[in-house]
Amino acid sequence: MIAVTETRSAESLSPTDRSTIRRGAKRAVTDRAALWAILDAGLVCHLSTVVDGAPLVLPTGYGRDGDTLYLHGSTGALSLRTAAEGVEVCVAVTLLDGVVYARSVFHHSMNYRSAVIHGSARPVVEPSAKLRALRVLTEHMAPGSWEHAREPNAKELAATAVLAVDLAEAAVKVRTGGPVDDAEDVAANTAWAGVLPVRTVWGAPSPDDALAGAPVPEHVTRRARGR
């Protein structure tokens, strides 16, 4: 949703074996601008950690500042407590763009843009750095809210955990376009094929009851109109 205007970098995003895409390698995208664009367009990420040897994945908000991804939540949240110890995390942001109807069940697919980031999460504790990170997180979730709403006080700041993950290692995959059917199925011509697009849209702002009649501020209406 936020346009990517930054200069593209040719630096590889997948420097190690685990983030090298094996399956569907033709869908792998290796430039940093593509990664940034996916992160900037998403609203929720899925944060995965290992807890007592078992996988745990939870949805959470995030924000991006250059090549740093910020994650936040209550200090009581299991995943963040774990990650704050410096353990490895894996973070996925997935944007679904359509369901691909093929002539065979086998070739049915989805159009999507996905980023899977591997890294170690470090806690952001220095107050001014934490405040900057919270601004990034807030402006990602609700652009304009940092200026409009009351900023965090010391107590709120202490109750919020912020984690930073470097965007150094990531696998980006994008699928677009129609089905890739077998020639025999195309020739048989017995089934419909195409794409049913999926989009995420904003609804009309729903003001809090205590505000009835107060105008909706521009930073909210702008987003509701699609920016």
CB of 12 to a copy of itself, least distance (A): 19
Distance of alpha carbon 55 from alpha carbon 36, whole angstroms: 26
Specify the DSSP element, H or E, that contains 37: helix 32-41
What DSSP letter does each residue of 117-135 carry, written as one string? EEEE-EE--SHHHHHHHHH
CB of 199 to a copy of itself, least distance (A): 6
Q: Which is nearer to a copy of itself, 66 or 76 (CB)?
A: 76
The angle subtended at Cα 12 by Cα 133 and Cα 29, nearest 5°, is 90
Q: Which is nearer to a copy of itself, 36 or 134 (CB)?
A: 134
Nearest to 102 by CA among 200, 184, 198: 184
CB 46 within 8 A of CB 135: no
Tokens representing residue 128 in the block? 């001014």
Q: Hey, which residues does 160 pair with through a beta bridge? A: 74
CB of 212 to a copy of itself, least distance (A): 10
CB of 7 to a copy of itself, least distance (A): 28
Phi-psi region of 86 (alpha: psi -120 to 50; beta: other; left: phi over 0): left
Q: Would you mind telling me the total number of residues written for the chain in this entry? A: 227
CB of 46 to a copy of itself, least distance (A): 4
Q: Which is nearer to a copy of itself, 8 or 149 (CB)?
A: 149
Q: Which is nearer to a copy of itself, 125 or 149 (CB)?
A: 149
Q: Which is nearer to a copy of itself, 67 or 139 (CB)?
A: 139
Tokens representing residue 138 in the block? 């807030």
CB of 192 to a copy of itself, least distance (A): 5
Q: Which is nearer to a copy of itself, 66 or 203 (CB)?
A: 203
